Protein backbone atom coordinates (compact mmCIF):
# COMPACT_ATOMS: atom_id res chain seq x y z
CA UNK A 1 0.00 0.00 0.00
CA UNK A 2 1.43 3.39 -1.01
CA UNK A 3 2.01 5.96 1.66
CA UNK A 4 -0.35 8.94 1.70
CA UNK A 5 2.34 11.43 0.70
CA UNK A 6 5.11 10.57 -1.73
CA UNK A 7 8.26 12.59 -2.43
CA UNK A 8 7.89 14.70 -5.55
CA UNK A 9 10.36 15.27 -8.39
CA UNK A 10 10.13 17.26 -11.62
CA UNK A 11 11.82 16.45 -14.91
CA UNK A 12 12.34 19.18 -17.50
CA UNK A 13 13.43 17.40 -20.66
CA UNK A 14 12.49 16.19 -24.12
CA UNK A 15 9.84 13.62 -24.98
CA UNK A 16 11.05 10.37 -26.59
CA UNK A 17 8.33 8.94 -28.83
CA UNK A 18 10.11 5.57 -28.66
CA UNK A 19 9.65 5.41 -24.89
CA UNK A 20 13.24 4.52 -24.01
CA UNK A 21 14.76 7.82 -22.89
CA UNK A 22 13.82 11.40 -22.07
CA UNK A 23 10.65 12.28 -20.18
CA UNK A 24 9.36 8.73 -20.53
CA UNK A 25 12.43 7.16 -18.90
CA UNK A 26 12.46 9.84 -16.21
CA UNK A 27 8.86 9.20 -15.17
CA UNK A 28 9.37 5.42 -15.18
CA UNK A 29 12.36 5.92 -12.89
CA UNK A 30 10.46 8.18 -10.51
CA UNK A 31 7.69 5.59 -10.32
CA UNK A 32 10.16 2.80 -9.58
CA UNK A 33 11.55 4.92 -6.73
CA UNK A 34 8.02 5.57 -5.39
CA UNK A 35 8.39 9.26 -6.17
CA UNK A 36 5.51 11.22 -7.69
CA UNK A 37 6.77 12.45 -11.06
CA UNK A 38 6.04 15.82 -12.61
CA UNK A 39 7.11 16.89 -16.09
CA UNK A 40 7.71 19.99 -18.16
CA UNK A 41 8.35 19.02 -21.79
CA UNK A 42 11.02 21.17 -23.43
CA UNK A 43 11.09 19.46 -26.83
CA UNK A 44 9.20 16.82 -28.77
CA UNK A 45 11.30 14.31 -30.67
CA UNK A 46 10.36 11.84 -33.36
CA UNK A 47 12.49 8.81 -32.59
CA UNK A 48 12.56 5.06 -32.22
CA UNK A 49 15.24 2.44 -31.63
CA UNK A 50 16.79 3.26 -35.01
CA UNK A 51 17.38 6.96 -34.39
CA UNK A 52 16.01 10.49 -34.12
CA UNK A 53 14.27 11.83 -37.22
CA UNK A 54 12.96 15.19 -35.96
CA UNK A 55 13.17 17.54 -32.98
CA UNK A 56 10.55 20.22 -32.29
CA UNK A 57 11.30 22.68 -29.47
CA UNK A 58 8.30 23.62 -27.34
CA UNK A 59 7.57 27.39 -27.35
CA UNK A 60 9.20 29.21 -24.45
CA UNK A 61 5.92 30.53 -23.06
CA UNK A 62 4.52 27.03 -22.79
CA UNK A 63 7.64 25.66 -21.09
CA UNK A 64 7.38 28.50 -18.60
CA UNK A 65 3.68 27.80 -18.00
CA UNK A 66 4.35 24.09 -17.39
CA UNK A 67 6.99 24.93 -14.79
CA UNK A 68 4.73 27.51 -13.16
CA UNK A 69 1.80 25.07 -13.04
CA UNK A 70 3.68 22.37 -11.17
CA UNK A 71 5.51 24.71 -8.77
CA UNK A 72 2.26 26.51 -7.97
CA UNK A 73 0.61 23.27 -6.81
CA UNK A 74 3.26 20.76 -5.68
CA UNK A 75 6.04 20.78 -3.06
CA UNK A 76 8.80 19.91 -5.54
CA UNK A 77 11.55 18.02 -3.75
CA UNK A 78 14.03 17.82 -6.65
CA UNK A 79 14.33 18.90 -10.27
CA UNK A 80 16.18 17.08 -13.03
CA UNK A 81 16.94 18.74 -16.36
CA UNK A 82 17.70 16.71 -19.47
CA UNK A 83 17.44 17.53 -23.16
CA UNK A 84 16.73 21.26 -23.50
CA UNK A 85 17.71 21.73 -27.13
CA UNK A 86 18.44 25.42 -27.56
CA UNK A 87 20.20 28.33 -25.89
CA UNK A 88 16.87 30.09 -25.36
CA UNK A 89 15.38 27.10 -23.53
CA UNK A 90 18.50 26.59 -21.40
CA UNK A 91 18.38 30.28 -20.43
CA UNK A 92 14.67 30.08 -19.60
CA UNK A 93 15.12 27.00 -17.41
CA UNK A 94 18.12 28.55 -15.65
CA UNK A 95 16.15 31.71 -14.85
CA UNK A 96 13.18 29.67 -13.60
CA UNK A 97 15.42 27.56 -11.35
CA UNK A 98 17.23 30.63 -10.03
CA UNK A 99 13.89 32.21 -9.14
CA UNK A 100 12.20 29.11 -7.70
CA UNK A 101 15.25 27.67 -5.90
CA UNK A 102 14.35 23.96 -5.69
CA UNK A 103 15.98 22.10 -2.80
CA UNK A 104 17.90 19.94 -5.27
CA UNK A 105 18.77 20.44 -8.94
CA UNK A 106 20.33 17.68 -11.06
CA UNK A 107 21.60 18.86 -14.45
CA UNK A 108 22.13 16.23 -17.14
CA UNK A 109 23.81 18.16 -20.00
CA UNK A 110 22.25 16.13 -22.81
CA UNK A 111 23.95 16.99 -26.09
CA UNK A 112 23.97 13.99 -28.44
CA UNK A 113 21.62 10.99 -28.68
CA UNK A 114 22.86 7.40 -28.68
CA UNK A 115 22.13 7.37 -32.42
CA UNK A 116 24.43 10.37 -32.94
CA UNK A 117 21.71 13.00 -33.45
CA UNK A 118 22.55 16.39 -31.93
CA UNK A 119 20.13 17.30 -29.14
CA UNK A 120 21.66 20.61 -28.02
CA UNK A 121 22.62 23.54 -30.27
CA UNK A 122 26.33 24.31 -30.14
CA UNK A 123 25.63 27.91 -29.15
CA UNK A 124 23.68 26.64 -26.13
CA UNK A 125 26.81 25.23 -24.47
CA UNK A 126 27.96 28.68 -23.34
CA UNK A 127 24.56 29.35 -21.75
CA UNK A 128 24.69 25.95 -20.07
CA UNK A 129 28.14 26.75 -18.67
CA UNK A 130 27.36 30.27 -17.56
CA UNK A 131 23.75 30.08 -16.36
CA UNK A 132 22.47 26.57 -15.59
CA UNK A 133 25.45 24.52 -14.38
CA UNK A 134 26.33 27.01 -11.60
CA UNK A 135 22.89 26.31 -10.09
CA UNK A 136 23.32 22.52 -10.06
CA UNK A 137 23.69 20.39 -6.98
CA UNK A 138 24.72 17.44 -9.16
CA UNK A 139 26.03 17.66 -12.74
CA UNK A 140 25.93 14.33 -14.63
CA UNK A 141 27.91 14.45 -17.90
CA UNK A 142 29.03 11.40 -19.81
CA UNK A 143 32.55 11.42 -21.27
CA UNK A 144 31.67 13.08 -24.64
CA UNK A 145 29.61 15.73 -22.83
CA UNK A 146 32.46 16.41 -20.42
CA UNK A 147 34.81 16.77 -23.38
CA UNK A 148 32.46 19.32 -24.95
CA UNK A 149 32.22 21.28 -21.70
CA UNK A 150 35.97 21.25 -21.06
CA UNK A 151 37.40 21.38 -24.56
CA UNK A 152 39.85 18.48 -24.28
CA UNK A 153 39.67 14.70 -24.82
CA UNK A 154 39.24 12.16 -22.01
CA UNK A 155 41.17 9.03 -22.95
CA UNK A 156 42.65 7.76 -19.69
CA UNK A 157 41.86 7.50 -15.97
CA UNK A 158 44.19 10.45 -15.38
CA UNK A 159 42.22 12.49 -17.91
CA UNK A 160 39.01 11.66 -16.04
CA UNK A 161 40.51 12.68 -12.71
CA UNK A 162 41.63 15.94 -14.27
CA UNK A 163 38.15 16.42 -15.73
CA UNK A 164 36.55 16.10 -12.31
CA UNK A 165 38.88 18.71 -10.91
CA UNK A 166 38.09 21.02 -13.83
CA UNK A 167 34.32 20.45 -13.88
CA UNK A 168 33.72 21.38 -10.23
CA UNK A 169 34.93 24.97 -10.70
CA UNK A 170 32.17 25.43 -13.31
CA UNK A 171 29.90 25.93 -10.30
CA UNK A 172 28.02 22.70 -9.59
CA UNK A 173 28.25 21.43 -6.01
CA UNK A 174 29.16 17.95 -7.25
CA UNK A 175 29.83 16.09 -10.50
CA UNK A 176 28.97 12.53 -11.50
CA UNK A 177 31.24 11.75 -14.46
CA UNK A 178 29.65 8.74 -16.15
CA UNK A 179 32.06 6.20 -17.58
CA UNK A 180 29.84 4.23 -19.92
CA UNK A 181 31.52 5.64 -23.05
CA UNK A 182 34.97 4.55 -21.88
CA UNK A 183 36.82 1.35 -22.71
CA UNK A 184 37.84 -1.72 -20.77
CA UNK A 185 36.00 -4.50 -19.00
CA UNK A 186 34.82 -2.21 -16.22
CA UNK A 187 32.69 0.91 -16.27
CA UNK A 188 34.04 3.45 -13.81
CA UNK A 189 31.66 6.20 -12.71
CA UNK A 190 33.39 8.93 -10.71
CA UNK A 191 31.61 11.23 -8.27
CA UNK A 192 33.45 14.42 -7.32
CA UNK A 193 32.50 16.74 -4.48
CA UNK A 194 34.14 18.78 -1.72
CA UNK A 195 35.12 15.54 0.05
CA UNK A 196 37.06 14.21 -2.92
CA UNK A 197 36.31 11.47 -5.44
CA UNK A 198 34.18 8.34 -5.05
CA UNK A 199 34.66 5.64 -7.71
CA UNK A 200 31.88 3.20 -8.55
CA UNK A 201 33.02 0.20 -10.60
CA UNK A 202 30.91 -2.45 -12.27
CA UNK A 203 31.35 -4.94 -15.14
CA UNK A 204 30.74 -3.58 -18.63
CA UNK A 205 27.78 -5.29 -20.25
CA UNK A 206 28.27 -6.20 -23.91
CA UNK A 207 25.22 -4.52 -25.35
CA UNK A 208 24.05 -1.27 -26.89
CA UNK A 209 21.58 0.56 -24.68
CA UNK A 210 19.31 3.59 -24.80
CA UNK A 211 18.20 5.81 -21.94
CA UNK A 212 20.88 4.99 -19.38
CA UNK A 213 21.97 8.61 -18.89
CA UNK A 214 18.43 9.91 -18.47
CA UNK A 215 17.61 7.11 -16.07
CA UNK A 216 20.75 7.63 -13.97
CA UNK A 217 20.20 11.37 -13.56
CA UNK A 218 16.52 10.80 -12.74
CA UNK A 219 17.41 8.15 -10.19
CA UNK A 220 19.79 10.60 -8.51
CA UNK A 221 17.04 13.23 -8.40
CA UNK A 222 14.55 10.71 -7.03
CA UNK A 223 16.97 9.70 -4.31
CA UNK A 224 17.52 13.33 -3.34
CA UNK A 225 13.78 13.99 -3.29
CA UNK A 226 13.41 10.99 -1.01
CA UNK A 227 15.87 12.36 1.53
CA UNK A 228 19.18 10.76 0.55
CA UNK A 229 22.46 12.65 0.53
CA UNK A 230 24.09 13.20 -2.89
CA UNK A 231 26.66 10.42 -2.32
CA UNK A 232 24.00 7.98 -1.16
CA UNK A 233 21.68 8.95 -4.01
CA UNK A 234 24.46 8.41 -6.55
CA UNK A 235 25.43 5.00 -5.14
CA UNK A 236 21.86 3.76 -5.27
CA UNK A 237 21.24 5.28 -8.72
CA UNK A 238 24.25 3.54 -10.26
CA UNK A 239 23.14 0.19 -8.80
CA UNK A 240 19.58 0.78 -10.02
CA UNK A 241 20.71 1.48 -13.60
CA UNK A 242 22.92 -1.62 -13.67
CA UNK A 243 20.01 -3.78 -12.53
CA UNK A 244 17.61 -2.18 -15.01
CA UNK A 245 20.13 -2.53 -17.83
CA UNK A 246 20.87 -6.19 -17.09
CA UNK A 247 17.12 -6.88 -17.29
CA UNK A 248 16.64 -4.70 -20.37
CA UNK A 249 14.84 -5.75 -23.53
CA UNK A 250 14.66 -4.94 -27.27
CA UNK A 251 11.20 -3.55 -28.11
CA UNK A 252 11.98 -2.26 -31.59
CA UNK A 253 13.59 -3.36 -34.83
CA UNK A 254 17.12 -2.28 -33.96
CA UNK A 255 19.49 -4.14 -31.65
CA UNK A 256 19.11 -1.41 -29.06
CA UNK A 257 18.18 -2.34 -25.53
CA UNK A 258 16.00 -0.19 -23.33
CA UNK A 259 16.02 -0.44 -19.57
CA UNK A 260 13.55 -2.45 -17.53
CA UNK A 261 12.60 0.25 -15.06
CATH of the domain at 209: 3.40.1190.20
Q: Which domain holds residue 80?
A: 8-258
Residue 117's pLDDT is 61
Residue 1's pLDDT is 46
Domain membership flag for residue 1? no
Domain membership flag for residue 3? no
CA dihedral 18, 22, 28, 31 (to 10 degrees): -160
Domain membership flag for residue 224? yes
Residue 45 has pLDDT above 60, yes or no: yes
Single out the residue of 206, 182, 215 nearest to residue 255, CA to CA.
Answer: 206
Give the up-direction half-sphere exposure of residue 6: CA atoms within 13 A in the CB hemisphere. Answer: 16
Domain membership flag for residue 40? yes
Picking from 88-92, 176-180, 234-238, which range would have the lowest pLDDT averaged per residue? 176-180
Task: Name the H helices within the chain.
Answer: 22-32, 60-73, 87-100, 124-127, 143-150, 157-167, 212-225, 230-246
Domain membership flag for residue 202? yes
SS3 helix, strand, coil % of the chain, rounded to 5?
Answer: 40, 25, 35
Residue 248's pLDDT is 87
Single out the residue of 215, 142, 154, 128 nearest to residue 178, CA to CA.
Answer: 142
Percentage with pLDDT > 70 across the chain = 95
The total number of structural domains in the chain stands at: 1
Amino acid sequence: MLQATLPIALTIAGSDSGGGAGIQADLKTFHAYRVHGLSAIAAITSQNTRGVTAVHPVPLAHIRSQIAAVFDDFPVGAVKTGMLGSAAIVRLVAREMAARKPAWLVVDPVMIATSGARLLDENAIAVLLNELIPLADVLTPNLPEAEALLGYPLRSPNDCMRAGADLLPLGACSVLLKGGHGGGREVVDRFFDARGVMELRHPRLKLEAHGTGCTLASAVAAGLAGGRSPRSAVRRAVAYVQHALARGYQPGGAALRVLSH
